[in-house]
Amino acid sequence: MCEFFSVPEPQANRVQLYTTVLSLLAIFASKRWSLVARWHVNLVYLLTFFVFVYRDLYPLTTLNERPLDIAEGTLLWIKITVLFAVGVLMPLITPRLYTPFDSNNPMEPNPEQTASPLSMITYSFLDPIVFLACRVPYLARDQLPVLADYDYAHNLKLKSFKYLDVFAKAKESHIGWGFLRVFRFEYTLMGILVGLLGLTTFISPFAINRLLSYLEGDKVTTVRPWVWIVCLFMGPLVTSILYQRYIFFGTRTLVRCEAIITQLVFEHSLRIRMKAETEKVERDGSLTELPTSQMEHSCENTASSMTSTIEEEGNSQDTTLVSNVPASVSEGSLLVKSPSIKSTSPKSTTKNKEALKKSGSPTGSSSASNLVGRINNLVTTDLGNIIEARDLMFVLVFVPLQIVACIAFLYWILGWSAFVGLAVMILLFPFPGYVAKRIQVVQEGRLKKTDARVQTVTEAMNMLRMIKLFGWESKMQDRISEKREDELVWLWKRELLDLVNGNLNSAFLKYAPLNASNLVYTVIMKQELKPSIVFSSMTVFDLFRDQLFIGFYMVNALVSGKVSLDRVNDFLKNTELLDAYAGKDRTLFSDQPRAGDERIGFNDASFAWSAESDGSLTPSKRRYQLKIEHELLFKPKGFNVIVGPTGSGKTSILMALLGEMHYLPNGPSSWFNLPRQNGVAYAAQESWVLNETIKENILFGSPYERERYQKVLYQCGLERDLDLFEAGDETEVGEKGLTVSGGQKARITLARAIYSPAQIILLDDVLAALDVHTAKWVVDKCFSGDLVKGRTIILVTHNIAMIRSLADFAVSIGTDGSVVAQGTILEVVGIDKSVSEELQRNEEEIEMAEEVLDKVDEPALPKSGGKLIAAEEMEEGHISWESVKLFFIGLGGNHPALFFVAFLGGLLVVEFINAFQTWFLGYWASQYERRPASEVSVFYYLGTYVALMGLSVILYMVAFVVFIYGVIRASRHLHSKLVESVLGTTLRWLDTTPASRIITRCTQDIRALDGPLKDGLRNLTEITMAMLTRLGAVVFMTPMFLIPGFFVGLFGGWVGRIYMAAQLSVKREMSNAKAPVVGHFGAAISGLTSIRAYGAQEAFVNMSMDRINRYTRASRVMYNLNRWVCIRIDIISGLFAAGLGVHLVYFQDQTTANIGFSLNMAVGFSGMILWWIRLLNDFEVQGYSLERIQAYLTIEQESKPTARGLPPAYWPASGSLVVENLSAKYSQDGPKVLHDISFEVKSGERVGIVGRTGSGKASESSLTLALLRCIPTEGDVLYDGVKTSDINLDSLRSTVTIIPQIPELLSGSLRHNLDPFDQYDDAALNDALRAAGLSELQSEMDDNKITLDTQVSSGGGNLSVGQRQILALARAIVRGSKLLILDEGTYLCNCFVDHKTDNAIQSSLRHELGHDTTVITIAHRLQTIMDGDKVMVLDAGRIVEYDSPANLLKNKNGFLHSLVEESGDKQHLYEMANAKHSLQS
């Protein structure tokens, strides 16, 4: 065979000449041929090198062969060295040329694209970013490597959509096949890698077997022992290289797959019929969008869940697409004639209906209510399931190959006894399965208890201000603690089952098969148990067991992924599309619109919310169709109004014009048209804003023109609002407009439409969310202003009285969806009685609103610098010791020393016993070397071994139980402290901290304590003890290896430290980049109608691509950093094991058993280094929950209750109130908002508080807060003769009741709202409801009658504002407080409370409260206070008037006198004041 590889001299010369020519060609030829020549010459040198390897290096590894060319002497080794350098080393270190994805658009290359092969294998191209992270506290986004061009979103779309998207000419097949085509190269390569990986995994156990066999005196072996030692290093190294390359391609595919799926869903969403947006429930005459809570919940969970993934999991979303809205839709006019489309459903709709039938849905029913939530679930939950199933090749190639190889290897060394061990393992597998089922049952129970606690916590945090004002802190804490205890009981059960399951897997499934095989091998087969057999079979049995677990896990993941992929495929193939996309060819209608047609309207056409044959269900469970039987033309360049009763479907006309509804032509003359060539703007009733600044929301991509912009702000009434924000129009509106009020959000949406250059403006009841004064301003300044002149306005409205003078054309829609009347507004009013009645109601509402004293549309939450409240804290560097100590103190409780000794000592003893078990196996095997097999007592050694295993299990269980007990104690303690801290904080802190952030601390961060954090600490502690034990065993057997072990640990720690510095920064950036992707996706989906109306699809796609690219950039770096650390730790681990092997074989006289034991310990120790670093990193990441909790334990606090602060038992006996020199400010370092106020209120008096016009209600609100000590105060307040400063806050607030502007209600029954802590019986509660006036508003026969069992949604969303006010008043009556503070609020300004409800509330306030109950009313109407005992006028925090109304009216220069004189109901107000004065006198 060697002669076959001999190279005659002439042939060698020809090879040299050939390589010389190729080398010259590589230097002087063109780029393309130079590359070919270079690779060819490298191949020639490599093959030549392999010839010399076989001839001259391979013989050196054997005991009986010599190199063939040894006669050449030194020249031979020079040749081999040179060939190695030019044939192996040079190609490995030569950087690759950058090949752009698009040769016409080259970009800055990512280091990955130009790295040499060696750098790619070792991931050294990441060295700069790793070492940079060590020098800076935090890696900024622009410091990360640039994104490779083939990972850019638009390039991924170009590569993949031709196989996936039918609109890009893809085949009508399942997208799973399309993805296999897209990633065919990656999956082929990954299949090859895992195939090789399955074989290289056996290099180490095979090398250990051969090495120990040699030391045992095996005469058959012809290979030198150093070869097997080299294999101990090269085996794990090659395995690591192959595995890391597999993960490299897997994570790269993962990120790309996420981007592509998100792109597909996003692009398809731009085409679907958004029934959830257009099927609406009418509230006050116009259509209101359905809530999208599913979508919001999905998105929120995504910013927290999908970014906290396991090491190899990642998330990236990409919504790149070139808008597929044809130019004729976005730029031309949409004129549809009946021949263009028939009323038959398109193919996709037919499929959809079939799917609905299969799922059991009623025929013709619509899935509109959950469509938005479904879409967002596709790119969150389903996308997560799909990428979890990415390891297809592991299941198809690696696991079967490993199982076959394990069986073959075990049979080779153990004979048929191996099958006994395998059979025992398979028979024991049902036991962990049974325990897993029990765990599932317990977990379900635990999740129910967790849900109950989370619901209570969420409700409490959302109502935290009310809880504090009512003095309910201690009671609410007790309720939350009770829920927490219920949850911890189930957590204890779950952890005990986990303990049982862990012992089954780690002890019985690991050792029982090995013991069974050894027993059969020695007792039945009468074979000698040698160390070479023991240690190698132990490793392979572990491999076999691992493959079974991996197989079961991955099959489940594949099934889940397939189900989710089917859901995505169903959405892409079967979701109903807009008519513009639903043709057979999935393009626009065959009849193109006529150019220049300026008509706006319909002729003989019908429209439905769905393409289903019988239309679609509306949320009110009725079928609806818009029917235009004759011609309906809106007036171009005029003001057009759409009116009609509640539920008639006025919004549907706008939706039909925009193409959002399904077109059903009634005949050959049918058509509808909306010219788009000059632009269309649209303002939805449910205002839609982006999470950007106010200015960016108004501009919406249009160029900034200062003069026009300022006019828009003025005419839309936004100037005054912007003055209230410190950052003005640079204020961020927040997600879903969090930082602005409903009225402000509506005016921002209107301003966007007015500012746009569009010639046609569609407005969907934009006045509904505005109070009468603001609505009047908009009508007078905006609708009558110069910015709308010459533009076509189509307005859906109920405010007929306000706009009737502007309307050029009006159309009335009946409840059956048909046109009742059209023409001028007077003509429509004369024909349609419902419109006439609506006009009369409008006039009454306007008249009622004129009584309002002062209305300021205050921002929901004033911000500093335009940012969202207080910026979320971001951790930098490592977790602080204070935070970890907080957890450790909780673990130890009152006896920390006892806890840590029991836990740490127990684990250390367990690991020592485990190591001793391994040594004992070798000792048992060594007995066959010392004496005949018949003298070796198998049952003695086996019994001892089993006893050691049992002792280890018992001690581990004890240590585990101690640990879990400590965890539950720590979790209970931290949760209690956190809730106590939040409940005890100040209102000022609550003003700057969103409730969602507080809820996250009490839910997500507490969940981390209960789960990932405690698991991470336990695993980290276990692996630390295991590493110390294994290193100790190696050092004990080989003392001189203490120094190498120390340096290995030192190097591993150093690599881990710099890795964590980089990875934590990149992981934070990845997490920060993920939220905008999901948030933008959710915002775009919820505003699809607006986006399509503006024709802004492409702009939103571009914004999404920017966010996607940012996320992809961070995620690719994060995953590659994991590869970087893995390969380095594996190298140093392999060197340590191989070095120990060299020492034990060549430099120390040890028994074969001890050598096997030492190698086993060394391999175990070195293999754990990487996991230790990873676990430490994960623990630190989860530990940030501790830091966040720690931060909330140190927030500012109100004074705590004391024994001295308890009031007398009789207090308060009256409602008398004396205030002396009271000053107050919102914060300790803030300006005063009240200045030396002094006044007296006698028990039972009714006092009204008003503010001077233009001053808002700041003074009145601050007075309320000061009376309850909610803000820092100076001076004295005496309540029933007792200083409030001497009384505990909860005692004070529990005796005072506040009815806020918009009362906050809890979710649950009405009984629960009136009496949250079960202190009163039903009779008292019903009496309170009657006294509050509820019985006057509902009859006995009313089907919707409110009772104590009526369920109230969170915040009282299912009740009107008036009903909520009545319930709040009833709650005050139940409490029986001697002091009642009523903030009359602005609900009357918005006309949400009718006269009947208002009269019921006012009557109850006057007659149903106790005669000794003092009522202080922050008034917005004169009628409320003119029959009161006294009126207080505040201005800039000072009292300017305070007396009875009659006396104040005598002052001709007084503020109250001037208000009454300006009122349209002056005479009645004077009569009220004088009547009250007469009664008092």
Asked if residue 217 has pLDDT above 70, the reply is no
pLDDT category of residue 1259 using cuts at 50, 70 and 90? low
Cβ neighbors of 126 (< 8 A, separation 6 or more) are 111, 145, 1117, 1120, 1121, 1124
Q: What is the percent of the chain with per-residue pLDDT over 70, rounded to a whole number?
A: 79
pLDDT category of residue 791 using cuts at 50, 70 and 90? very high
Higher pLDDT pick, 1430 / 348: 1430
* Cβ 907 vs Cβ 1022: under 8 Å: yes
pLDDT at site 1479: 60
Give per-residue pLDDT as tens, 387-423: 888 888 888 888 888 888 878 887 887 788 878 877 8
pLDDT at site 863: 41
619-626, Cβ contacts within 8 angstroms, sequence gap of 24 or more = 619/279, 619/280, 619/281, 619/290, 619/368, 619/369, 620/281, 620/647, 624/649, 624/652, 624/817, 625/664, 625/817, 626/652, 626/653, 626/656, 626/661, 626/813, 626/817
Pairing type for strands 1308-1309 and 819-823 reads unpaired
Helices (H) and strands (E) in the chain, counts: 56, 26
For residue 174, CA distances in Å to 159, 181, 255, 268, 565 come to 18, 12, 21, 16, 9
pLDDT at site 582: 76
Angle at 1352 (CA atoms; ends 1350, 1354), nearest 5 degrees: 170
Report the C-alpha gap between 1325 and 1311 in whole angstroms: 7
How far does CA 216 lie from the centroid of its chain? 59
Identify the burial level of 590 via C-beta atoms within 10 angstroms of its C-beta, where 0-12 means exposed, 13-18 middle and 19 or more buried.
Answer: exposed
* Rounded mean pLDDT, 1282-1307: 82
According to DSSP, residue 1147 is labeled: I
How is residue 483 written in tokens? 């829920």
According to DSSP, residue 1156 is labeled: H
Q: Which of 118, 125, 110, 114 is nearest to 91 (CA)?
A: 118
Q: Which of 1141, 1256, 993 is nearest to 465 (CA)?
A: 993
Q: What are phi and psi of 1344, to 5 degrees?
A: -100, 30
At 382, the amino acid letter reads D
pLDDT at site 834: 61
Report the C-alpha gap between 73 and 86 in whole angstroms: 21
pLDDT at site 763: 92
pLDDT at site 270: 84
Average pLDDT of the chain, as a whole number: 77
Report the C-alpha gap between 320 and 266 in whole angstroms: 8
**Stated pTM of the model:** 0.71
Between 473-503 and 430-462, two packed helices, what is the crossing angle to 10 degrees?
170
Angle at 97 (CA atoms; ends 95, 100), nearest 5 degrees: 140
Buried b (16+ CB within 10 A) or exposed e, 1333-1358: bbeebeeeeeeeebeeebebebbbee
Report the C-alpha gap between 318 and 973 in whole angstroms: 43
At 683, the amino acid letter reads A
Give per-residue pLDDT as tens, 234-283: 888 888 899 999 999 999 999 999 889 888 888 888 888 875 333 333 33
At 736, the amino acid letter reads K
pLDDT at site 311: 36
Which residue in this structure is represented by tokens 């039903």?
A: 1322
* Rounded mean pLDDT, 80-84: 88
Give per-residue pLDDT as tens, 976-1016: 999 999 888 888 788 777 777 788 788 878 888 888 888 88
Report the C-alpha gap between 585 and 904 in whole angstroms: 70
Cβ neighbors of 1410 (< 8 A, separation 6 or more) are 1244, 1376, 1378
pLDDT at site 831: 64
Q: Which of 426-440, 1134-1148, 1428-1442 has the highest mean pLDDT?
A: 1428-1442
pLDDT category of residue 1137 using cuts at 50, 70 and 90? confident
pLDDT at site 507: 65
Q: Which of 883, 898, 1045 is nearest to 962 (CA)?
A: 898
Instruction: Name the maximum alpha-carbon separation found in the chain.
Output: 135
Cis status, amide bond into 994, omega within 30 of 0: no
Q: Which of 737-741, 839-843, 1045-1049 has the highest mean pLDDT?
A: 1045-1049
Report the C-alpha gap between 356 and 865 in whole angstroms: 51
- DSSP for 731-763 reads -B--GGGTTS-HHHHHHHHHHHHHHS--SEEEE
Report the C-alpha gap between 1185 and 1004 in whole angstroms: 8
Side-chain-facing half-sphere of 243: CA atoms under 13 Å: 19
| Strand-pair partners of 1414 | 1379
pLDDT category of residue 866 using cuts at 50, 70 and 90? very low
* Rounded mean pLDDT, 1217-1236: 85
